[in-house]
């Protein structure tokens, strides 16, 4: 039994050691796997040797009084320059409610509150880090805007968050992906330092160079898409009367494809863009022998799609019309 216990402790140490190494070297591994063009100056300069690793508290130093839930990620801080860019890309404001999942010393929540007046919640398992975050909030006079909850990030309800920030590990991000998509409202933003969210491709990827270390850090940004897949039946109000329009939309995260049916014509949808609940797409149609383009811009609210269809190159039908559709 004793041998088994010792082996289990040793194995846990090895796993945590690997996790720390992965986080501390996340900047380097990004460079070699970078989806950003290799000609980007930021990436080129990443080939400059990396100086020191970010501050890491030893994995074994879990504070006394820590809850039974295992930490999924060790404590490694996001450099302040990277925090600044994460908040900038998410365009946080004083109307946002930001959640940092695994909040460490609270720096992301505290910086957002200080710089932008953002309300924030830090979720952290380690009671010592919670204490430190609360002390920093008091010192900065931010006690009324931020709170730090000692709890498991997977047990945290995210429904009132408008921005979520992450600096976790690839496997933890993957596990978190469905929770983010299910709980966050369309239009909420997610920003992750160092690691992406698997097959949910980011809307933006950027790199930040930290002068002190020479390291290049990746930052990924997503906007939570509305659910738009389905069969939509609607009408286009034209001067020639109400034209029935049917839309069959397919969706993978924020990527939308599909077809529009109007009269006898079935037209492929192209250039579709879905940002939160804002949707736009184009269809091409031959009207009275001429190539016509219909550009739609609108928004999805539950099972209602409303917007403006701009028809070009369609003779008498050229113009802007309201399109309203219901999902069946
Ligand atoms: C890499 S650090 C990031 C700290 C901070 N967000 C930052 O970017 O500076 C990850 C943090 O997540 C915390 N953590 C790990 N597993 C957690 C869990 N299941 N629930 C809440 N916090 C967790 C760790 O204690 C650690 O402080």
Q: Which residues, listed in sequence order, are joined to residue 245 by a DSSP beta bridge?
A: 234, 262
- Return the residue whose CA atom lies nearest to atom 27 of ligand 1: 104
Given this model, what pLDDT does residue 315 score?
A: 77
| Residue ranges of domains in the chain, CATH in brackets | 2-223 (3.40.50.150), 230-327 (2.40.128.120)
Q: Of ligand 1's atoms, which has the minimum distance to the CA of residue 129?
A: 27
Query: At a CB cut-off of 8 Å and minimum separation 6, what does 122 contact?
Result: 99, 100, 103, 106, 108, 109, 130, 133, 146, 147, 148, 149
Report the separation in Å between the CA atom of 93 and the middle of ligand 1, taken as the mean of its atom positions.
24
Report the separation in Å between the CA atom of 128 and the middle of ligand 1, taken as the mean of its atom positions.
12
- Cβ(322)–Cβ(295) below 8 Å: no
- Return the residue whose CA atom lies nearest to atom 4 of ligand 1: 104
Q: Which helix (H) or strand (E) element contains residue 241?
A: strand 241-252
219 — pLDDT class (breaks 50, 70, 90): very high
The single-letter DSSP state of residue 76 is: B
Cβ of 124 below 6 Å from ligand 1:
yes
The single-letter DSSP state of residue 124 is: E
Cβ of 176 below 6 Å from ligand 1:
no
Cβ of 173 below 6 Å from ligand 1:
no
70-79, 127-136, 171-180, 217-226, range with the lowest pLDDT: 70-79
pLDDT of 315-326, one tens digit each? 777 899 999 999
- Cβ(30)–Cβ(217) below 8 Å: yes
Cβ of 78 below 6 Å from ligand 1:
yes
- Rounded to whole angstroms, the Cα distance separating 31 from 126 reads 31
- Rounded to whole angstroms, the Cα distance separating 217 from 231 reads 42
- CA 247 and chain centroid, separation: 27
């Amino acid at each position: 039994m004793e041998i088994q216990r010792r082996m289990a402790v040793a194995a846990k140490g090895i796993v945590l050691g690997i996790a720390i190494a992965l986080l501390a070297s996340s900047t380097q591994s990004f460079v070699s796997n970078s989806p950003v063009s290799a000609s980007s100056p930021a990436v080129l300069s990443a080939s400059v040797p990396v100086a020191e690793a970010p501050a890491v508290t030893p994995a074994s130093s879990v504070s006394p009084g820590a809850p039974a839930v295992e930490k999924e990620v060790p404590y490694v801080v996001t450099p302040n320059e990277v925090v600044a860019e994460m908040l900038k890309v998410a365009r946080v404001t004083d109307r946002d409610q930001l959640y940092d999942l695994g909040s460490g010393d609270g720096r992301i929540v505290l910086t957002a509150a200080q710089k932008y007046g953002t309300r924030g919640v830090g979720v952290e398992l380690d009671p010592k880090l919670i204490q430190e975050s609360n002390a920093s909030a008091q010192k900065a006079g931010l006690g009324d805007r931020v709170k730090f909850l000692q709890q498991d990030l997977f047990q945290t309800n995210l429904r009132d968050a408008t921005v979520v920030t992450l600096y976790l590990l690839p496997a933890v991000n993957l596990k978190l992906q469905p929770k983010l998509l299910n709980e966050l409202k369309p239009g909420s933003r997610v920003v992750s330092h160092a690691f992406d969210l698997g097959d949910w491709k980011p809307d933006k990827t950027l790199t930040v160079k930290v002068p002190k270390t020479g390291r290049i850090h990746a930052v990924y940004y997503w906007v939570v898409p509305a659910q738009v897949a389905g069969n939509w039946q609607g009408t286009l109000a034209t001067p020639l009367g109400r034209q029935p329009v049917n839309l069959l939309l397919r969706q993978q995260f924020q990527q939308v494809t599909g077809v529009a049916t109007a009269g006898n014509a079935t037209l492929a949808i192209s250039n579709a863009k879905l940002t939160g609940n804002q949707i736009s797409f184009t269809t091409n149609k031959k009207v009275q022998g001429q190539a016509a383009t219909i550009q739609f811009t609108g928004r999805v609210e539950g099972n209602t799609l409303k917007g403006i269809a701009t028809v070009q190159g369609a003779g008498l039908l050229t113009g802007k019309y309201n399109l309203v559709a219901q999902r069946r």
